[in-house]
Structure formats: structure tokens, C-alpha cells
């Protein structure tokens, strides 16, 4: 089989906002406790954070981490997590039916993020709380000194403000599972009022309003429109969430799911622009895809979990080779929509539907999905180029016209390097890929990295890497024409640089 792609230096989608390589740490399962934090562990640093985990987070080049939830945030009193650790209350977390010790809170997480070279994207509770608690946490985190909350932070040992720039106005407020779920009218009003007082407290912050929890929600579309009718002028982004599953064990269909993500993005961008037009606004609201991943392996097991434990094992999906292909297609989709998606968070980062896993008291290891994320975060910085793809297509149970090759490319103007990301969705055959690279000057192939495994259900585990990238030979370039062979069912990264 053959595919052809044309890229031209001037056919640019947009520069890639590096925040699309964000991730997410929620007080859920073992994400925080025995994930990023495990005092007494041989790898624990002076604050109890696992150095081995921080090393892997840095390897992933995650620039931004959303915190503290997720569903958790809608019942969270942020004040429970500040001040002397021994005086903090144990609370019931109604979202995940667990106990929360509050040993880790805002200050500790800000310190962890600094050590991991990431910024914090902070979510406020618009479930059980409202505008008052939201403006107070902005004051606590961001005002240097001289007010009640900023001086309280200083008295807790944090002289410098945390300077958190990006804030989420609640989480998935359209979902009946959410603590204090709201209608679009109710949420739109509270989001607008919370946004006003948060920005009055610190005008430099940016805000994300809750969009739909997924595009299959019965309120999808109307929710975004109504919410933005209320808060358009007060917010900067609207959120999107999506998780893909393969319950039916139908791989060709599963590999087509990223088409749904693409439609979701374009539809929400359209709704934002509809509200913009109605309001005759000069401002564009962009998109924050602040939860995305594959999530289904652990669902049945989690239904049987005993409630009310501390840091129980929840949502510990073990990812397969085919999950990594879907994650690759999702990354490609984000890159091809770089003009509207300015923030995205792989949900989540450690142990909970995560690229990084830990054994309590033991080692940390990389899941299959670690690798496509790593490659995109490392090489996908620059300008996203518009691909003109010609290739065969197939139909599946739920989708039609799925291209066998899914691709995006990023051009780094400073170095002249181009990275082509491509998934070969053909499960049976390799794909000969011809790429025309117009107006970039003389190029050479630096490397072709691929990830594939004949067993699409192959997984990694502690000390076992069955799925990992390898180097592929044979990619070559002649003038403007590049040629490479994409293995069947593979993730590919082809890196080009100006010829010397």
C-alpha cells in the first residue's frame, strides 16, 4: 500500500502552543499518594517526592500539570490542604469514595511542579463552593504580600507567590456524576461571577470554562452555547474532555476514534465563534482539551473496589500497543488543530490512566502510551504544517472514510528541522510513504523512529518493556521527495534537518 503527503513551508496551521503537552494530577487512587509522593521510599527526596517519577516526568517534557481534579475538585476545600501537615483534616472524597488525608495540598504540589519543571494549571471548586473560595485561593497563590490570604501563605513558609497563570472554573459541571452538578444556566452564571472576582484579584490570570464532559452528552452543543452566553467575555478557553475505549475488541474501529476527536474540536470551535459573532466580540475563545486519553481497561475492576480506603488502586489501566496507536492519532489530531487547541492535558500522569506507573516501595516504569507522548512533546514544537494526504481509506462499525495514514508535521523555523508524525492504521500491511517537502531547501533524514509489535495487545510492566520505540532504516530523501516504509500498525516519527 502507498500514501502520499505534501507539505509546503507556507502552508502553516499555527505555531504549536507547548501547553498542549500538559498532563494531569488528581487526588484519585495512587496518583498523588505512592505516585508522585511516597515518603520513606528509597527514591524520596527531602519533601517525600519520588525522584524516579520526577525524572520520568521531565523526560516527558510536560510543561503544565492540571491539579487537584477532576471530579475530586468539586468537593474539595482547598483550605484543608494548607498549613501544618499534622493539623489537616481527613475528609471523605465523595467523587471517588476514598479518604483524603490532605497531606499534599496547594503548596506541596506547587513545589513538586517546580521540581518537575512544570507550571500548575489550578482548578477551583464550583461544585460545593463558589466565587468566594475561588477568589481566596487566587489571592493565596498569586498576591505577593500584604493581604490576609497572601500573608497566610507567607506564614506557611512560602514567601514568594506561586504565580499560577492558568485556572479551571470547576470540572465537568454538565455531568450528573459531578458533586453538585449544575444546569448550563446555573453553571454559566457561577462561572461568570467566579471569573470576574478571580480576575479582579489577579488580572494576569487566564481562565478555562467547563465545556461538555464528552461529545456524546445529551446536552453537548447547547451546554457550550449557554455557558458562553454567560461568561464569554470573562474566560479565555473552554474545556473539552474525551476518553476512548475498545470494549468490543474491534481494532479497526478503535483506531478510527480520533476522527471523533477532530469533529469534537471543530464543533466546539464553531460554537465559540457563533457566540463571538452574536456578541460582536473582538475576542476569540480558544480550546483547552484538558482531559484526553484511552480509558476502559480498569472499569470493571474498579466497580468492585472497596470504598473508603486511602489511595486505593483505581483507574490503573495497563495500556497495549493498540492503545499507543490511538494515543498517537490523538496527538496528531491535537497538532492538526493547533490553531484552536492551545492547552491539552493527557489524563492522567502517574498510576491513574497514566503513562508512568509506580510500584509502591518499588520502581517506576513506562507504559506503551509513554512513547508517542514523549516523541510529540520532544519534537512537536514549532509550527504545525497543513498536510495534504492522498491514501486509501476504510470504513468501520462506527466511522467511514478512515484514512490508513494519519499524519501531522511540525517545522522548527529556528533549526530548520521538520518532524513528521504518522500512524499506519493498516493492521496487515506496511505502507510506502512518499512525502513532498516544498520550499524547505535541501533536507536530510536524521532518523526514523517507529513503534510496533505484531501482538497489538502487548503491554509493558515493571521491569518488562515489550513495547518500545526502535530505529528504522531505509528512509531517504532525494531533492524534495522523501520516501519511507511505515510498518503495519505502527507509530512513526521521521526527523529531517537541513542538509549540511
Helical H segments across 298-407, by residue range: 299-303, 321-336, 370-379
Question: What is the H or E stretch that residue 272 is in?
Answer: helix 258-278
Whole-number Å distance between alpha carbons of 411 and 496 = 9
CB 379 → ligand AHR: shortest distance, Å? 26
Judged by CB under 6 A, the residue of 79, 93, 172, 317 near ligand AHR is 172
Task: Count the Cβ atoms, other than its own, within 10 Å of residue 34.
Answer: 21
DSSP characters for 225-244? HHHHHHHGGG-SEEEEEEEE
**Piece of 69-77, 102-110, 139-147, 357-365 that binds ligand AHR (CB under 6 A):** 69-77
> Cβ closer to ligand AHR: 351 or 407?
351
Judged by CB under 6 A, the residue of 98, 171, 286, 367 near ligand AHR is 171
The size of the interface with ligand AHR (CB under 6 A), counted in residues, is: 9
Q: Does 71 bind ligand AHR (CB under 6 A)?
A: yes
Q: Is 473 exposed, middle or buried (0-12, 13-18, 19+ CB in 10 A)?
A: exposed
For the range 305-313, what are the long-range contacts, defined as Cβ-Cβ under 8 Å and sequence gap of 24 or more?
307/97, 307/98, 308/92, 308/97, 308/98, 308/99, 309/98, 309/99, 310/33, 310/98, 310/99, 310/101, 311/29, 311/30, 311/32, 311/33, 311/34, 311/98, 312/29, 312/30, 312/98, 313/29, 313/30, 313/351
Residue of 356, 352, 355, 364 whose CA lies nearest to 315: 352
Query: Closest-CB residue for ligand AHR?
Result: 70
From 26, 79, 291, 417, active-site residue: 291
Whole-number Å distance between alpha carbons of 456 and 326 = 12
Judged by CB under 6 A, the residue of 79, 291, 317, 406 near ligand AHR is 291
From 172, 193, 224, 417, active-site residue: 172
> Cβ closer to ligand AHR: 102 or 171?
171
Judged by CB under 6 A, the residue of 22, 29, 63, 70 near ligand AHR is 70
CB 308 → ligand AHR: shortest distance, Å? 18
CB 150 → ligand AHR: shortest distance, Å? 30
> Cβ closer to ligand AHR: 179 or 472?
179
> Cβ closer to ligand AHR: 27 or 340?
27
Q: Does 347 bind ligand AHR (CB under 6 A)?
A: yes
CB 272 → ligand AHR: shortest distance, Å? 21
Q: Does 212 bind ligand AHR (CB under 6 A)?
A: no
CB 61 → ligand AHR: shortest distance, Å? 21
Q: Does 348 bind ligand AHR (CB under 6 A)?
A: yes
DSSP characters for 292-322? EEE--TTHHHHHTPPSSEES---S-PPPBHH
CB 351 → ligand AHR: shortest distance, Å? 12
Q: Which of residues 8-27 bind ligand AHR (CB under 6 A)?
A: 26
**Piece of 67-75, 116-124, 302-310, 328-336 that binds ligand AHR (CB under 6 A):** 67-75
Look up 172 and say whether it is catalytic: yes
Whole-number Å distance between alpha carbons of 69 and 76 = 9
CB 136 → ligand AHR: shortest distance, Å? 23
Q: Does 174 bind ligand AHR (CB under 6 A)?
A: no
Cell of 27: 487526588
**Which are the catalytic amino acids?**
172, 291
Binding residues for ligand AHR, rule: CB under 6 A, are 26, 69-71, 171-172, 291, 347-348
Amino acid at each position: 500500500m502507498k500514501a502520499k503527503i505534501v507539505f509546503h513551508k507556507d502552508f502553516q496551521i499555527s505555531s504549536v502552543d507547548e501547553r498542549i503537552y500538559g498532563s494531569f494530577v488528581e487526588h484519585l487512587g495512587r496518583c498523588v499518594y505512592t505516585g508522585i509522593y511516597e515518603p520513606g521510599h528509597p527514591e524520596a527526596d527531602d519533601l517525600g517526592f519520588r525522584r524516579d517519577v520526577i525524572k520520568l516526568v521531565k523526560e516527558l517534557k510536560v510543561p503544565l500539570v492540571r491539579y487537584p481534579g477532576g471530579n475530586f475538585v468539586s468537593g474539595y476545600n482547598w483550605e484543608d490542604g494548607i498549613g501544618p501537615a499534622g493539623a489537616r483534616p481527613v475528609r471523605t472524597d465523595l467523587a471517588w469514595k476514598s479518604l483524603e488525608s490532605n497531606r499534599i495540598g496547594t503548596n506541596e504540589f506547587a513545589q513538586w511542579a517546580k521540581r518537575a519543571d512544570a507550571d500548575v494549571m489550578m482548578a477551583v471548586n464550583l461544585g460545593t463552593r463558589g466565587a468566594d473560595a475561588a477568589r481566596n485561593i487566587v489571592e493565596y497563590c498569586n498576591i505577593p504580600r500584604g493581604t490576609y490570604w497572601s500573608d497566610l501563605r507567607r506564614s506557611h513558609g512560602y514567601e514568594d507567590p506561586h504565580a499560577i497563570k492558568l485556572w479551571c472554573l470547576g470540572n465537568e459541571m454538565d455531568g450528573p456524576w459531578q458533586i453538585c452538578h449544575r444546569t448550563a444556566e446555573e453553571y454559566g452564571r457561577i462561572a461568570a461571577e467566579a471569573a470576574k472576582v478571580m480576575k479582579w484579584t489577579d488580572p494576569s490570570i487566564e481562565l478555562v470554562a467547563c465545556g461538555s464532559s464528552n461529545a456524546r452528552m445529551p446536552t453537548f452543543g447547547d451546554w457550550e452555547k449557554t455557558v458562553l452566553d454567560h461568561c464569554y467575555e470573562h474566560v479565555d478557553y473552554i474545556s473539552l474532555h474525551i476518553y476512548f475505549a475498545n470494549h468490543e475488541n474491534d481494532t479497526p474501529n478503535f483506531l478510527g476514534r480520533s476522527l471523533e476527536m477532530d469533529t469534537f474540536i471543530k464543533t466546539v470551535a464553531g460554537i465559540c465563534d457563533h457566540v463571538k459573532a452574536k456578541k460582536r466580540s473582538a475576542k476569540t475563545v480558544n480550546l483547552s482539551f484538558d482531559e484526553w486519553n484511552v480509558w476502559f481497561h480498569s472499569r470493571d475492576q474498579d466497580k468492585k473496589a472497596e470504598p473508603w480506603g486511602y489511595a486505593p488502586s483505581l483507574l490503573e489501566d495497563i495500556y497495549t500497543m493498540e492503545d499507543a496507536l490511538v494515543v498517537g492519532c490523538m496527538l496528531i489530531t491535537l497538532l492538526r488543530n493547533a490553531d484552536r487547541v492551545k492547552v491539552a492535558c493527557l489524563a492522567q500522569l502517574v498510576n491513574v490512566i497514566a503513562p508512568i506507573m509506580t510500584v509502591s516501595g518499588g520502581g517506576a516504569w513506562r507504559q506503551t502510551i509513554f512513547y508517542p507522548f514523549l516523541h510529540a512533546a520532544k519534537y512537536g514544537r514549532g509550527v504545525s504544517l497543513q498536510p495534504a494526504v492522498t491514501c486509501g481509506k476504510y470504513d468501520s462499525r462506527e466511522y467511514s472514510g478512515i484514512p490508513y495514514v494519519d499524519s501531522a508535521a511540525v517545522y522548527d523555523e529556528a533549526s530548520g528541522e521538520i518532524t513528521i508524525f504518522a500512524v499506519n492504521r493498516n493492521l496487515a500491511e506496511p505502507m510506502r510513504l512518499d512525502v513532498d517537502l516544498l520550499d524547505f531547501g535541501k533536507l536530510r533524514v536524521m532518523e526514523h523512529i517507529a513503534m510496533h509489535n505484531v501482538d497489538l495487545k502487548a503491554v509493558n510492566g515493571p521491569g518488562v518493556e515489550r513495547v518500545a520505540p526502535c530505529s528504522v532504516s531505509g528512509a531517504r530523501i532525494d531533492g524534495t521527495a522523501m520516501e519511507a516504509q511505515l510498518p503495519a500498525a505502527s507509530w512513526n516519527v521521521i526527523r529531517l534537518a537541513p542538509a549540511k
